[in-house]
A and B are shown apart, each in its own frame.
Chain A
Amino acid sequence: MTVKEIRAEFPILSSSVYKRPLVYLDNAASSQRPLSVVKKLEQLSLEENANIHRAVHYLAAKATDEFEGAREAVRAALNAESKDEIIFTSGTTAAINLVAYSFGEAFVGEGDEIIVSVSEHHSNIVPWQLLCQRKKASLKVLDIDENGELQAGTLEKLISQRTKLVAISQISNVLGLINPVAGIIETAHSYGVPVLVDGAQGFVHLQTDVRVMDCDFYVFSGHKVFATTGSGVLYGKKKWLEQMPPFMGGGEMIETVSFSGTTFAPLPYKFEAGTQNFNGIPTLVPALELREKCLKDSELQKNVEEITAYVLDALTSDPRIILYGVPRRTEDKIPLFSFSVKGVHHEDLALIMDKMGIALRSGQMCAEPLMDRFGVSGMLRASFAPYNTMDEAKYFIQCLDKAIGMLQ
């Protein structure tokens, strides 16, 4: 598949902003949607719209099939053992909050400890802080080095008898470096500590097999990988999910309800309270098909690798620029680049480059502790998807140079 062919799937990519061709480089915040996903959403809205699981009528059965079909597609994409281990949420944040609450209720008490890394997104920090406040537990922080590389070797020093869980991202949304999660999981498991892997960025760029990885929980957001908003996933090993109490009550999650006591539905429904996003979740099916294509297609992969190498070289060889997340080997980096320009405010650059047609992210990127770690108030981020071209990468570098020239 050529990049041109995949671009044809995304009409928005051929649009213009301020009379210039749009160059969308904010994919780490949200990817664009392909026609297959838009059509699926339309089909569900126009032809198969009904609440799922309960009613016996035709439309409800169709909608339920679509929803459960998506569960199977996610199971297959993650190579999970069972569909019961796949829980739909509104997104990564909701999935982590679910685990923080529910796992916390079951397993975390006063004096216990949770380990996160300094490079986590706020969504993989704040739910644990809330849990720690609630339970009088404490949060331990795994550090990175100057290049942004996770100090995985120091994990053992942080683990104690009170450690209940390690929560770590597969790839940081700021650094774009592939974390050594396999080693982290092995180390944590050797002390009997389960691991949650935040796959919000990782699932987009890496083939992910939860059984090979052996993580205890894995979470991601559909909207970052071509599906609609509100299509998040929590994978959890059955042995944990079964022991965890429900997060929210009401709707599909019950078995029987009476005022003398309520019993809960089996997995995965125990964790799916209230009306589910039955129009949005099935868009995961075409979205995951496209993801699979992107990850397996040699031409698309070559394009991604070439763009990564080109941008990495351009940014690291420019003395005006400080790149955060410098890999030891190019293959440890995804095409996600956060950087600062000496003497230039990130917002100024973002504002000027926006007018050049380039969509970038600027600011703290939901990772304030990491900003503090590097002593900056914010950064600029360019994040590429498989549909971005080398021409766009070159245009980005040219425009960056021009914008810096205007500002310095």
Chain B
Amino acid sequence: MSLEESKQEIIEAFSIYDEWLDKYEYLIELGKNLQPYPEEKKTDEHLIKGCQSRVWLDAEEKDGKLFFSADSDAIITKGIISLLISVYSGRTPAEISADDFSFVEQIGLRENLSPTRANGLVSMISTIRQMAAEYE
């Protein structure tokens, strides 16, 4: 699936739900299904700054593509990072760098989070971008 297709899939998944409570339920499911993150990588080095709840993010390069793994102590945050990973994992650093991440606006995620969570989302996105830039 291309990056665009992946984003479209999420936009469609979100459009099924009218209510934000249902969208949260979807995010919670995503959070619960996130691949386990290694305990030994729960270090300050992997901690994303600017989130109220703790979020760890790690990237590994394989065949020119970046694969992300993450975890959080809050389940909705975990759902959000899981959503970002499902879109951006397995892409080349160039693809990630060229993307504007505007699909999070399209699904209305940012304005429906509390200000602290919205800041956290911004931090997650900038960390993913930064990691891509390092591998480019």
Contacts and interface: CB of A to CB of B under 8 A. Distances in A.
Given A351-B114, A351-B117, A354-B114, A345 B53 contact: yes
A352 interface: yes
Nearest to B72: A345
B20 interface: yes
B28 interface: yes
A344 to B, nearest CB: 8
B73 A355 contact: no
Interface in B50-92: 52-53, 73-77
A348 B114 contact: no
Nearest to A19: B19
B21 interface: yes
B13 interface: no
B27 to A, nearest CB: 10
A352 B74 contact: no
Contacts of A350: 114
Nearest 8 interchain pairs by C-beta: A345-B74, A355-B20, A348-B76, A355-B21, A348-B74, A347-B74, A348-B75, A347-B53
B9 interface: no
A18 B111 CA distance: 13
A18 B28 CA distance: 20
A347 B117 contact: yes
A352 B24 contact: yes
Contacts of A356: 21
A363 B74 CA distance: 12
25 contacts: A345-B53, A345-B73, A345-B75, A347-B53, A347-B74, A347-B76, A348-B28, A348-B74, A348-B75, A350-B114, A351-B76, A351-B114, A351-B117, A352-B21, A352-B76, A354-B114, A355-B19, A355-B21, A356-B21, A363-B52, A377-B73, A406-B24, A406-B25, A407-B28, A407-B75
Interface residues of B, number: 17
Contacts of A407: 28, 75
Interface in B6-58: 19-21, 24-25, 28, 52-53
A407 B117 CA distance: 17
A355 B117 contact: no
Secondary structure dominating the interface of B: helix
B94 interface: no
A214 B30 CA distance: 58
Contacts of A351: 24, 76, 113-114, 117
Contacts of B52: 347, 363
Contacts of B21: 352, 355-356
A18 B75 contact: no
A354 B114 CA distance: 9
A368 B76 CA distance: 24
Contacts of A377: 73
Interface in A338-366: 344-345, 347-348, 350-352, 354-356, 363
A350 B53 CA distance: 13
Contacts of A344: 75
A345 B52 CA distance: 11
Contacts of B74: 345, 347-348
Nearest to A344: B75
Contacts of B75: 344-345, 348, 407
B73 to A, nearest CB: 6
Given A347-B52, A351-B114, A18 B73 contact: no
A247 B36 CA distance: 56
A350 B24 CA distance: 12
Contacts of B73: 345, 377
A11 B72 CA distance: 40
Contacts of A355: 19-21, 24
A188 B133 CA distance: 62
A361 to B, nearest CB: 11
Contacts of B28: 348, 406-407
A142 to B, nearest CB: 30
A351 B117 CA distance: 9
Contacts of A363: 52
Contacts of A406: 24-25, 28
B110 to A, nearest CB: 14
Contacts of B20: 18, 355
A346 to B, nearest CB: 8
